[in-house]
A and B are shown apart, each in its own frame.
Chain A
């Protein structure tokens, strides 16, 4: 492993550089194609409203993919992620306009673990809502 960050350089409370990830309808269509998840709640407004959603929402797995970028951008080595878990608490609503939505992610070292691994707790917010709960990654540092 060749993580850019050394275990010796972090402590509980170390904050990771934040990330800001835009998402619009085109991104959702692209993600649907790449992931194989074509559920119409992610691209069909009429369908989304019929099942009780306020509008089209981003794939939970898309949000999960963006949130971990704060960790992989920090370590440089995406393969250093050994464990990653989230709960999907609120949907990321993606309006059909020029702006779309923004997912803002911050992360903080929450625990130092064995074998040069640390636990990073992540927070992801969109439109004022916390969209992930218990978002945690265990990552191996150099």
Chain B
């Protein structure tokens, strides 16, 4: 079933701030097996010019994907979430995410396409800090495979 094209361009209200903690960054870095001290040692991060430990480049997805959930699970949009796979991902950084950040996301549906029986949804998540300064934009491509492709 084709998705409702009227959702293209729709933005969702900013999410409540996500508080980035040192221990959450450590947990994430551990999970991807990355021992870079910039993720766990504030002194090492300072030596690189940061105020506190920074997060790995893909950490922001945990924040933006949760924010995108509002669109993804909007019953009016009608995306079959059980058939969704992640098609592509991009991040564009103004600066890295760091411990102490309080980050808010505005999600926008950039495009909706139907290709070979699959629905393809592009969602942009603009991440800003407490001052309203841009930190990172995440683009997430989701593909809901048609039932006949299973």
The interface of chain A, by Cβ under 8 A from chain B, is 1-2, 21, 27, 30-31, 33-37, 51-52, 60-62, 64-66, 68-69, 72-73, 76-79, 81-88, 134
Which secondary structure dominates chain B's binding surface? mixed
- Contacts A34-B28, A34-B30, A36-B62: A60 and B89 contacting too (C-beta < 8 A)? yes
A81 near B32 (CB under 8 angstroms)? no
> Is B48 touching A2 in the complex (CB atoms < 8 A)?
yes
Are A79 and B96 closer than 8 Å at their CB atoms?
yes
Asked if A85 and B89 sit within 8 Å, CB to CB, the answer is yes
Which B residues are CB-close (under 8 A) to A60? 86, 89
- In the assembly, what is the distance between CA of A37 and CA of B28, in Å? 12
Q: Which chain B residues border A83 with CB–CB below 8 Å?
A: 90-93
Q: At the interface with chain A, which of B4-12, B51-59, B105-113, B126-134?
A: B51-59
The answer to the question of B87 belonging to the interface, with a C-beta cut-off of 8 Å to chain A, is yes
How far in angstroms is the closest Cβ of chain A from B42? 14
Q: Interface digits, B29-71 against A, CB 8 Å rule (1 contact, 0 not)?
A: 0111110101100000001111000101110011001100000
A19 to B94: give the CA distance in the assembly, Å: 27
CA distance A21 to B32 in the complex (A): 9
11 A-B contact pairs sorted by A residue (CB < 8 Å): A1-B48, A27-B31, A34-B32, A37-B65, A52-B150, A64-B58, A78-B36, A81-B96, A84-B57, A84-B90, A87-B87
Q: Which positions in B face A, CB cutoff 8 Å?
A: 24, 27-28, 30-34, 36, 38-39, 47-50, 54, 56-58, 61-62, 65-66, 82-83, 85-93, 95-96, 139, 141, 150
Contact A69 B31 (CB under 8 A): no
Complex Cα spacing A69 to B118, Å:
32
Is there an interface contact between A31 and B38, defined as CB atoms closer than 8 Å?
Answer: no
Rounded to whole Å, the gap between the CB of A90 and the closest CB of chain B is 12
Nearest first, the 3 closest Cβ-Cβ pairs linking A and B are A85-B90, A34-B31, A79-B96
Give, as a whole number of angstroms, the nearest-CB distance from B146 to chain A.
12
Residues from chain B with a CB closer than 8 A to the CB of A65 are 32, 34, 56-58
Which A residues are in CB contact (< 8 Å) with B38?
A: 77-79
Chain A residues with Cβ under 8 A from B32's Cβ?
31, 34, 62, 65-66, 69
* C-alpha gap A69/B85 in the complex (Å): 24
CB atoms of A82 and B33 under 8 A apart: no
Known A-B contacts A1-B48, A52-B150, A78-B56; the reply to A33 vs B86 at CB < 8 A is no
Residues from chain A with a CB closer than 8 A to the CB of B61 are 35, 61
The chain A residue with its CB closest to the CB of B34 is A69
How far, in whole Å, are A61 and B139 apart by their CA atoms in the complex?
13
Decide: B92 and A78 in contact? CB cutoff 8 A: no
